[in-house]
Amino acid sequence: MEFGLHLPHVGPLATREGITAFAQLVEELGFDALWVSDHIVVPRSLDSRYPYSRDGSFPVSPDVSLMEPIATLLFVAAITERVKLGTTVLVLPMRNPIVTAKQLASLDVLSNGRLILGVGTGWMEEEFQMLGVPFKRRGARTNEYIRLIKALWTEENPSFEGEFWQIKDVGFNPKPLQKPHPPIWTGGHSAPALRRAGRLSDGWHAVGVSPDTLREQFQEVQRHAEEAGRDPASLTLSVRPRVRLDDPAKAIELLRSYREVGVSHAVLEISAPDMDRARSLLETLANEIRPQVLA
């Protein structure tokens, strides 16, 4: 199982110095990937329920520094050499898919082929409204945008006729270095999200679900892949679990359980007020937790 770390591009370490120190330490300690989340604005008045907390509240204050994800990864690409660079997840339907495809292809080239594109439909209706993007039918937009991005990344003279976007015989270069294209992992736990993961994606990126639920839902993803004529065994199962790294024994037990159900990549998040605390937790993960999970 690979270990990825969420970059501190949100909160007190969201500075040039903080991100540099964190990213380079993650690479030095031999971890596999660095990840970013996606929000552009955080409304002060919020009625939408956050799907990953028990009470539906969003844990990020409007006053907290929150750097744009693709820009952050482009910066990190320049200060690292080996770690993969991923989005957990990019809210695809609130972005221009052609511009996004261009930014991400450039990132893959500039990072020497290290991009993992995690995408989702989003949940914060107020953010869509402020960006001038329709919230309704965002699932259909996400499906179409995935297909459009694949066309731009793989076709010599891309053409695409969709409900929301149409292009005809255009030049789109550079193409990503990874062939046929960088891996696309989709998030979400609804029935449409599981169907999207099986039919359109290279993997399913789950958040916060138990190992047993993860196993059941991934079987559903694989069933959709098989129905679409795809090889279900080719799909990656990844998870962003709720793990407390300051309790190594519980972290080892939980991460072992995820590994046993087939997780091949875990994205872990460190909450630290400063780099000293982040270093301590990363070293605990590298020296105590990871070896026991992989033993």
What's phi and psi for 229, nearest 5 deg? Answer: 80, 20
Task: Give tens-digit pLDDT for 216-240.
Answer: 999 999 999 999 999 999 999 999 9
Q: Which residues contact 135 (CB under 8 A, 6 or more apart)?
A: 122, 125, 128, 129
pLDDT at residue 256, rounded to an integer: 98
Cβ-in-10-Å burial (0-12, 13-18, 19+) of 125 comes to: middle
| Tokens of residue 52, six digits | 């990953």
H or E, element range at 56: none
* Average pLDDT value over all residues in the chain: 97
Mean pLDDT of 131-149: 98
Residue that is written with structure tokens 């990871």 in the block: 290
216: alpha, beta or left, given left = phi > 0 and alpha = psi -120 to 50? alpha
The string of DSSP letters for 151-185 reads HHHH-SS--EE-SS-EE-S----SPPSSSS---EE
Tell if the pTM clears 0.95, that is, is over it: yes
pLDDT at residue 287, rounded to an integer: 98
Confidence bin at 181 (pLDDT 50/70/90):
very high
Domains of the chain as residue ranges with CATH:
2-294 (3.20.20.30)
pLDDT at residue 281, rounded to an integer: 98
What's phi and psi for 154, nearest 5 deg? Answer: -120, -25
What's phi and psi for 133, nearest 5 deg? Answer: -120, 135
Confidence bin at 130 (pLDDT 50/70/90):
very high
